[in-house]
Structure 1
Amino acid sequence: MRRLMILTCIYIISNGAFGIQYVVDSELGDDSNSGIGTDSAFRTIQRCVEQLKGSEPGDECRIRSGRYHEVVEISGLKGTRDKPFIIGGYGDERPIWDGTVPIQPESWSFNEATGVCSASIQDDIFALLLNDDLLTPARWPNALWSDKTLFNNSYWGHCNANSSYGHIIDDGYAGLAESGIDATGSMAILNVGSWITYVRPVLSHNPGSPEFTYNHDMGHVPWNDKYNQYYLEAGLSLLDAPEEWVYDNSTKILYLIPKDGICPDPESTTLRGRTIDYGLIINDTSGLKISNITFLAANINAYSYPWHNSIPFAEIDELHLDSLVFKFPSSSHRMLGSTDQPLYTRLIAMAWNDGSKVRGHVSVVNCTFEGSDGTPLVHDGIGNFIHNNLFVYNVFTGQWYGGEAGGGGIILGRGEEEIISQNTLWYNGGSEGIRPSANCTVKFNHIIGHCAGKNQNDGAAIQVVRTYQNGAKLSNNWIHDSPKHGIRFDTPEPLGNATMGNGGYAGHNVIWDTEGMTIKGDDHTIENNLVIDKNEGDECSLCVIYRIWTDPTIFNNLTTTINNGASQADGGKNVDDWPNDWPLAGEVVENNYSGKDVRVQIVDPDNWDYRPVEGGVFTQGGDIIGPYLPGKEVKTYWIPGRKLFKTSTPIPVSGRSTSSDRDVVMFLGGYMADEHHFYFGMDELRIEEATMEDEEYQYTLDDDEGNILSLPKLEECSQYFWRVDVQQGGHIYKGDVWNFYT
């Protein structure tokens, strides 16, 4: 009886009201332990997962801080939406699911003439990290991860127009001939397919020559002489700059040029090589939540599989990723001579069963994806929920060919009815940002600097292909500072025998300093968008296409185009009456504004305040033009992008000047906030140190009371400081101190 009482107490303490909590500790645990409590923790995650298989829904694996270099396979877990199995960090601890091993050779050799350190190592590695940050495979032209130049095509070679399949001629911009390198045997990263980038070994190259050859075995590609570009990687002859490395798997020698000129300490564990792609493999599982873990150079592969012969159908359903950090989740194997595209975070809750597609549900919430070589996230399912995530500095090669990841993208959807909301995409590369699928909802996303370095041709920040336009809903997104289209409903040109896309919705979006919004197809609704400051040229910023060049196809016969504001809004160039434009296309085209003075109609576009000027032309047509109402008619000024636990995205933008007539400030509220506390004044230190007992404290807004804060009358030529804290339960997340000038 006493033993039963003790076990019951342990169950209640470990479990709360939900289930048993098993503990994993890589340093102090032992897989022969019970896993109950920190003193009897398991050592490996796999052992804990095996324990869950015999447990009830709601049971948990809680992982202590530390590094876990494992490939864990989960199969046969059957939790529920209300009582999922949980694998997550223990308390506030954040463990590292580590795809790397320490590089600890017996000794390093140092070449004083070249600055190269070399050593024999045991494992074949395909990425190298120092202090958990990425080092750059040796390449030409030189570029680095550390300063993000590897995203910029100024650091690529560019192809002469006489280049052809299998034969690249450098145009001299980067100077392959002048470099003196022998590129034979290195890997050529070839953006010779517009939105597709291939990788092939260099078959032949002579030092001093601008030409090299490769095996063009990929058939027809969308070759474009104007935009074809390349760089070379993973050859010892390319190793010439600090932070570069090469691994020769035939000799197992690692070569490295350290930034400080000193070879790494062989006893240190700070230099690490990646040896695994997927640290977590999941199938035949439902009702599973994974939370509060950092995946370092490791990734997740979750997939349903179809009925086939004697193998039964098994699905993924109710898989939830919450507050994970994926740091360098996808790494190519080019250093090992592979031309395969990098393996991506793969959440495929779809498989065929008895002739029909069966889809489950997946969510990815409050996660971070940073430094992925390939596509960060590919997902399939029904009603997948991709919400409040950060995608930052991903896709520096754009290496994708087709198949499941065909077309690429930062967020690539393949399912139905997905919701992609409140995400921030920050200076990612590749042709496409968000590439959603059927009946999608894409809303409240903030996309900044997509493909700013032009490391791949074509594409858009939000690209909807023709087969997925029917039912697509794109709304309340900000997209800016990109050489790509902001939003594009695409259709092949010339159309030929293809069917154009139709039935999409794009409304209440703000797009600036991009190639604008381009709408092909038909029977769309395009309303209340603001599209300003096209990057260059005099072409449309809002393009609801009537005809494309000489293609006789007429687009957008049934489209509704209303209440939009743009620097220039039209239906595309009229080649029959050059250089004039077709008018905006549509069956209903009403109350749109097109003019170079469009910024004058907005309160303060330089400070991201896109409300229409009260009494201006945007407010005089019955319906409001643009995505916002004027003045303070509503209590919320919607701001897209990922919410942090503290407030963010101040308006006016911190450090900028604004009019002394400004009467409000706005902000993006905290994640899961209950209240926001507002501080305002003219003394930075007092605002920094103020509490709710000080005069700088103004008032508190409940989360449902909006994000518009009224100001006192401002003085001219003055500086003001403000802060907004988040109250979440009993915890306060102190905000940054922001400022503006009048």
Structure 2
Amino acid sequence: MFKNPIVKHGDFILQWETTVVIVLLMLLFTEKVVNASTADTDLYFVSVDGKDDRSLKRGSENKPFRTLEYALNRVEPKGAVVIRAGVYHEQIRRKNLTDVSIITYPGERVIFDGTVAVESIANGDWEKVTESVFRRKVDRDVWQLFVDGKQLVNARWPNASFSDGSVFSAKGWALADPEYSVNGSALNDPEVMDLAKSGLNIENAILIANFGGWETWTRRVTEHQDGSNHFKFDKVPHFKNKPWNPLNYFVEGKLQFLDKKDEWFFDAKEKFIYVFATEVPKENYFGKVQSYAIDGENWRNVTVAGLNFFATTMKCERCDNLVLTDMNFHYASASKRPLGLQSTVADLTRFTSSKKSSGLILSNCNINNTDSQALIIEANRALIENCLFYNIDYAVSESYVHGESVHLKGDGNVFKSNTIYSAGASSALSGSGWFVAELNHIYNTGFAQSDGAMIHVRIPSQTGAIVRYNWCHDSPDKYGIRFDSPIPPTRWGHGGTIHHNVVWNAKGINVKGERHKVFHNLAFDNQGSDIRILDDTKLNGGGNKGTKTQNNVADSISGERNRQSLVPGISVTNYSHPIFDQSIKDQLTNADDQDFRPIRGSKLVSAGQSILELSGNSSGIPVDLGPYQNDVARYWIPGRRLIKASMPIPRDTGSFAPDNALIWQTGFGAIEHHLYFGPDRAGVKNADKTNQEFQGIFLRENVYRLEKLQEKVYFWRVDAVIGDRVVKGDVWSVEKTGV
């Protein structure tokens, strides 16, 4: 009945694999919502082919409304707005919405697009400015530009690119010399990037200045001479020129910085878009012209499911029992620095509630490619589950809260089964108020700021905080998990719990304060001491005298940062390299493939004692040290789960462990899994439950141990069953060696 509109811009966006996954989950969810409606009169349809007709009480499937805003102004409580496929460009400001669902039609894709075609807002054609620069006048402000669906970099120095990943690394930042820089005046370090030899004059440019350790501001450059590495700038609130706080910066806001094909510049006064090109641009350019597609306030009992946002986002203030599920926020937020603005908080994805129990749920969502913070939650007992955050906070400025990519404000919030990577801020996850962080996979963070941690628990958050079942790794200058206090420690926290975590290739686990519980963690290949239970009594701080440290495994467990010393408080049945003089990784099944089970017969097996605070049983029962048991049938794998089985252990093309175990991450929402195994790839790929490759049905278990195998390459596949649907898994290979 309705044709799916084909919009040129839609052909370029939302092409990631994660989108396909989420769309399928959305399909399952929306079918349930639609089928649950007791009467057809509860449904209000919206379509790009529809019409906002006042004569219609509601948009029917045959005569839908044209816009979501029009439908929301007419939907009655307990009604559902069903949106048909297409690209929508709306800026909805809606207050006081109650008992309503906003859902995508099953099997269709809905995109709220915050951009418009430059062609549609242009006053005239492209004009040649120089041999490599063209410009075009437009009739409105544009603060983010895409060409054929790919984001261009706001012209800057030093250069950085999205395509090679340098925007998401320290490579895109210059460095000021801390010895010769003060607040308001900086001397560029030419050994990192030579400003004097760049041929640029940065006077009146916008300075993105990470001059406060974990605090970054935008300021105006007030003075600079050609050929000089010295410049002056408007002062920042806090300036920290210590050796451990590098003075990183870059500059934007001048046309002369435009010198690469993937850059652009906007003249906010004259309304000209400039691009780098050697001939008249023929590509499809789209400019961001709005911050929010949906801006809600005082919503109650509202569900939003299956929507996609491109170069725009959503916020809801004072909203209770708000459920957001199966949603994509691609290029969710961008700074307005191209408009010449500075010191202005960015428009972010943000949800708040004033109730003691907010009922806020953010489930199976994807937030990516943000200039500033990815997500702000100001609520109590909110749940953020199975979400993906990547390429976020790469400029780390214009933030609601400095130094945090994801911020949780409130008590009892749960951050569960999420993945964060490629995040610029000092701390990937932090907040104010106690929270639970469990089953998260966090890595490659903090490239744009100093200090911090992947999971950073500040003093107000420590009492009652629980950090468990997380992997934190490959962020060399950041702690994996940190219970913090200031230097000198004039105050400190107490009463937090850290258990069953794995931290590697970072700065380990850092615990300050008193009366914490640190159980069953694994830490190796970190800078300094892998697990630090710090004694700050000499500095008149917390000494961890009442902290209990038990059943942990690490290269080094110490009361100091960088050398071995006694662990304060109660420290029993821990294993560390200096004590046993044996590599930690040698005690694990295959740490390089994330199989952290202790090998059979290792010194970790049955070397610990069960802990009353965790098991609820009598303490003293022998257990394995570290976060995993050797004979486990269910191996926890953190991070966002896909709709299909994923994260094979051993890794694809890897080798069997001695016990011939196959391990996988279960599908999100799956009720069971089917395992196939054999020596022929095609046989495994095409097998069903009637074939010999079928190994069995797994309800809760995700570990399968095979009997004796010959020395050869094998193949395996795991299907996930979600409701009455079977989601076929990928075919992985694994080699048996050393028989």
Contact 2:659/2:705, CA 8 A, preserved across alignment: no
Q: 1:121 aligns with which of 115, 118, 138?
A: 138
Distance 1:177 1:245 in 2: 23
Contact 1:485/1:517, CA 8 A, preserved across alignment: yes
Q: CA deviation at 1:17?
A: 5.9
Residue 43 (structure 1) aligns with: 66
Q: 2:208 aligns with which of 189, 199, 203?
A: 189
Residue 237 (structure 2) aligns with: 219
Distance 1:34 1:147 in 2: 52
Q: 1:688 to 1:592 in 2, by over 3 A?
A: same
Residue 233 (structure 1) aligns with: 252
Question: Is the partner of 1:526 in helix, strand or coil?
Answer: strand
Given the alignment of the two structures, is residue 673 of structure 1 paired with residue 665 of structure 2, yes or no?
no
Residue 338 (structure 2) aligns with: 335
Question: Is the partner of 2:638 in helix, strand or coil?
Answer: coil
Q: 1:98 aligns with which of 113, 138, 143?
A: 113
Q: 1:455 to 1:614 in 2, by over 3 A?
A: same
Distance 2:36 2:546 in 1: 61
Q: 1:110 to 1:204 in 2, by over 3 A?
A: same
Distance 2:468 2:96 in 1: 39
Q: CA deviation at 1:130?
A: 2.1
Amino acid corresponding to residue 562 of structure 1 in structure 2: Q
Question: Is the partner of 2:655 in helix, strand or coil?
Answer: coil
Deviations 1:603-635 (A, max 9, x none): 111111111122221124242354444333x32
Question: Is the partner of 2:98 in helix, strand or coil?
Answer: coil
Question: Is the partner of 1:410 in helix, strand or coil?
Answer: strand
Residue 545 (structure 2) aligns with: 557
Given the alignment of the two structures, is residue 169 of structure 1 paired with residue 187 of structure 2, yes or no?
yes
Q: CA deviation at 1:728?
A: 1.5
Contact 1:22/1:60, CA 8 A, preserved across alignment: yes
Deviations 1:330-363 (A, max 9, x none): 110111111113221110112xxxxxx7663311
Question: Is the partner of 1:107 in helix, strand or coil?
Answer: coil
Question: Root-mean-square deviation (CA), in Å?
Answer: 2.1
Amino acid corresponding to residue 137 of structure 2 in structure 1: S
Q: 1:14 to 1:481 in 2, by over 3 A?
A: closer
Given the alignment of the two structures, is residue 693 of structure 1 paired with residue 690 of structure 2, yes or no?
yes
Residue 56 (structure 1) aligns with: 77
Amino acid corresponding to residue 602 of structure 1 in structure 2: L
Deviations 1:200-242 (A, max 9, x none): 12222222111221110x3333443551110111310100001
Residue 574 (structure 2) aligns with: 592
Contact 1:491/1:520, CA 8 A, preserved across alignment: yes
Deviations 1:532-557 (A, max 9, x none): 111x4xx2011111138x62435201
1:345-360 superposed matches below 5 A: 345-350=349-354, 360=358
Deviations 1:517-543 (A, max 9, x none): 000011000000001111x4xx20111
- Identity, in percent, stands at 30
Given the alignment of the two structures, is residue 148 of structure 1 paired with residue 165 of structure 2, yes or no?
yes
Distance 1:657 1:177 in 2: 53
Question: Is the partner of 2:730 in helix, strand or coil?
Answer: coil
Residue 21 (structure 1) aligns with: 43
Contact 2:380/2:412, CA 8 A, preserved across alignment: yes
Amino acid corresponding to residue 283 of structure 1 in structure 2: E
Deviations 1:58-106 (A, max 9, x none): x111112222221112212222xxxxx1112112212111111110133
What is the TM-score normalised by the length of structure 2? Answer: 0.88
Distance 1:12 1:195 in 2: 46
Q: CA deviation at 1:740?
A: 2.5
Contact 1:618/1:626, CA 8 A, preserved across alignment: yes
Amino acid corresponding to residue 56 of structure 1 in structure 2: P
Amino acid corresponding to residue 281 of structure 1 in structure 2: D
Q: 1:27 to 1:210 in 2, by over 3 A?
A: farther
Given the alignment of the two structures, is residue 282 of structure 1 paired with residue 299 of structure 2, yes or no?
no
Distance 1:669 1:138 in 2: 43
What is the TM-score normalised by the length of structure 1? Answer: 0.88
Distance 1:50 1:86 in 2: 13
1:595-610 superposed matches below 5 A: 595=577, 597-610=583-596
Question: Is the partner of 1:335 in helix, strand or coil?
Answer: helix
Amino acid corresponding to residue 62 of structure 1 in structure 2: V
Residue 308 (structure 1) aligns with: none
Contact 2:357/2:381, CA 8 A, preserved across alignment: no
Q: 1:78 aligns with which of 93, 98, 106?
A: 98
Distance 1:205 1:43 in 2: 53
Given the alignment of the two structures, is residue 482 of structure 1 paired with residue 475 of structure 2, yes or no?
yes
Question: Is the partner of 1:190 in helix, strand or coil?
Answer: strand
Given the alignment of the two structures, is residue 326 of structure 1 paired with residue 312 of structure 2, yes or no?
no
Residue 720 (structure 2) aligns with: 726
Distance 2:40 2:542 in 1: 60
Q: 1:119 to 1:71 in 2, by over 3 A?
A: same
Q: 5+ unaligned residues in a row in structure 1: which ranges?
A: 1-10, 80-84, 305-315, 351-356, 574-578
Distance 1:329 1:90 in 2: 23
Q: 1:553 to 1:243 in 2, by over 3 A?
A: same
Residue 473 (structure 1) aligns with: 466
Q: 2:705 aligns with which of 710, 717, 734?
A: 710
Residue 458 (structure 1) aligns with: 451
Question: Is the partner of 1:618 in helix, strand or coil?
Answer: coil
Q: 1:140 to 1:102 in 2, by over 3 A?
A: same
Contact 2:506/2:525, CA 8 A, preserved across alignment: yes
Contact 1:592/1:625, CA 8 A, preserved across alignment: no
Deviations 1:666-693 (A, max 9, x none): 1111111122111112222332233333
Aligned positions, number: 678
Contact 1:675/1:701, CA 8 A, preserved across alignment: yes
1:169-568 superposed matches below 5 A: 169-172=187-190, 173-216=192-235, 218-226=236-244, 227-257=246-276, 263-265=280-282, 270-304=284-318, 316-339=319-342, 340-350=344-354, 360-400=358-398, 405-451=400-446, 454-483=447-476, 484-496=478-490, 499-534=491-526, 536=527, 539-547=528-536, 551-568=539-556
Q: 1:485 to 1:625 in 2, by over 3 A?
A: farther
Q: CA deviation at 1:490?
A: 0.3
Q: CA deviation at 1:714?
A: 2.8
Distance 2:187 2:659 in 1: 57
Q: CA deviation at 1:19?
A: 6.7
Question: Is the partner of 1:449 in helix, strand or coil?
Answer: strand
Q: 5+ unaligned residues in a row in structure 2: which ranges?
A: 1-32, 610-622
Amino acid corresponding to residue 68 of structure 2 in structure 1: I
Amino acid corresponding to residue 385 of structure 1 in structure 2: L
Contact 2:553/2:575, CA 8 A, preserved across alignment: yes
Contact 2:648/2:662, CA 8 A, preserved across alignment: yes
Question: Is the partner of 1:158 in helix, strand or coil?
Answer: strand
Question: Is the partner of 2:448 in helix, strand or coil?
Answer: coil
